[in-house]
Amino acid sequence: MHYQNVCLETIAYTLPEERVTSAELEARLEPLYSRLNLPPGRLELMSGIRERRFWPREMPPSQPSVVTARKALSQAGLDGRHVGALIHGSVCRDYLEPATACSVHQQLGLPRACVVYDVSNACLGLMNGVVQIANMIELGQIRAGLSVGTENSRALVENTIAHLNASTTLARHDVKSALASLTIGSGSAAILLVHNDLSRTGNRLLGGVFRNNTEQCALCHSDRSDTAGVVLDPLMWTDSEVLLNEGIAVGKETFLQFLEEMQWRASDVQKTFCHQVGKFQHKLLFEMLGLPRGIDYTTFETLGNTGSAALPITAAIGLEQGHVQPGQQAALMGIGSGINAIILGVHWKLTL
């Protein structure tokens, strides 16, 4: 998968104001911790996550998505009339139908000729949207497109706490499969891609690869979703240890395929932005890839795992902090439950 005419113009983000620490969540789990004699501090110790954020109750995902998409267009100085595709790629959405992208498109006032739809693929939805938009630009079908999404972890975290406290039969090993839900955070991201001749940055999206191992699709699943959006009633169960190992294995396969596809050596990957899970996943991933951890930028410590928004939010903040210098090559590395993985290569020239 190679591109000659696509630029990754801007990556924008919006974060909720409400911060919730891991210590606060454990305090709310006091009935469970007391019954099972669990030591406090284990959540932050195991994940490296000090805090995460929550959107206000009953806020539809489309609302922050509109704000973030406007930021991306404003940063690029791009008129919305050029946008030929809008893809909403988060797990969270306003309704099962119509597509949340429709509400975002309407509020942004984008052209009626714009392609508008949702993509759902766990933590890779926004990255899948990036590839689909890049393909359309490369084929000459559109000149610019937005992949946008908003994840809201409040319902999942609060439902998990209520479930764990209410049950009197759960043992320690049962609790372990629910703890990953407490690492999930909230955030919104938007990635704007444009044709080279519209670009002010010259940040070329070079190409990339996909890989999967769907034999492991049952390792992480949410099974309570009668509707969607603000009335979603989710619980999620994760075999964290197996998912960690299997996800890293798929990540390594994808990375080796990426180097071959791009005709790069590992040393040609000068900077990285990855999906954000926690400290052990981060450490093991870079050990397995044989890359120095210093080339990566992380946000899981203060944002947790923000699902499909995690990688682009981290990239946007990292770019603000000068993590990537002009002329460097960066890899965007996403791994999501399913298991699916994607790595995209970007040659960075300028940050707006």
Residues labelled as active-site residues: 97, 123
Task: Name the residue among 210, 209, 201 with its Cα closest to residue 347.
Answer: 201
List the structure tokens of 71: 């930021």
Rg (CA), the chain: 20
Q: How far does Cα 65 stand from its chain's mean position? A: 14
Q: Residue 222 gets which letter from DSSP? A: E
Select from 196, 188, 207, 197 the least CA-distant residue to 72. Answer: 188
Q: What number of other Cβ atoms are within 10 A of residue 329's Cβ?
A: 17
- Using the Cα atoms of residue 151, residue 73, residue 10 and residue 8 in order, give the sign of their dihedral: positive
The amino acid occupying position 194 is V
SS3 state of residue 144: strand
